[in-house]
Amino acid sequence: MGARDQLRIDIRQDAGRAILSLDGELDMANAPLFQSALDGAELAAASTVVLDLQQLQFIDSTGLRIILATRERCRERGQEFAITPGSAQVQRLLSVTGVADHLRTVATPDELLV
């Protein structure tokens, strides 16, 4: 089973936002696939980047590091950055590490960011 089988990434543009929907597992094995999606031109052009974690079932420290690096890159570009809540495991990791306190969380990827 390859990385593409473990993590599906859907990118869509909507009203100046780039929404990346993650489905599956984000870990060391498929981090390069996620990083490649984050490096795409459509993200650089967006005013807001939303990571939709609603279908993400698992995340490890590598995935967490990439999410934090993405937040920092967005800050440097002057972009808004937000996530949606993920599975119980994802939310627990974000909470236990204290990362949840530093990420803007929206209920759905379509929630209007102001």
Report percent pLDDT > 70 for the chain. Answer: 94
Q: Is the pLDDT of residue 2 over 80?
A: no
Neighbours of 36 (CB within 10 A): 10
Q: What is the pTM of this model?
A: 0.89
Per the DSSP assignment, residues forming a β-bridge with 58 are 25
- Alpha carbons 8 and 5: distance in angstroms, whole number: 7
In this prediction, residue 1 carries a pLDDT of 47
Given a cut of 80, whether residue 69 has pLDDT beyond it is: yes
pLDDT, tens digit (0-9, with 9 covering 90-100), for 71-91? 999 999 999 999 999 999 999
- What's the whole-number average pLDDT of the chain? 90
Comparing CA positions, the residue from 66, 55, 45 lying closest to residue 21 is 55
pLDDT digits (tens, 9 = 90+) for 97-113: 999 999 999 999 887 55
Whole-Å CA distances, 84 to 4, 21, 97, 100: 22, 9, 17, 11
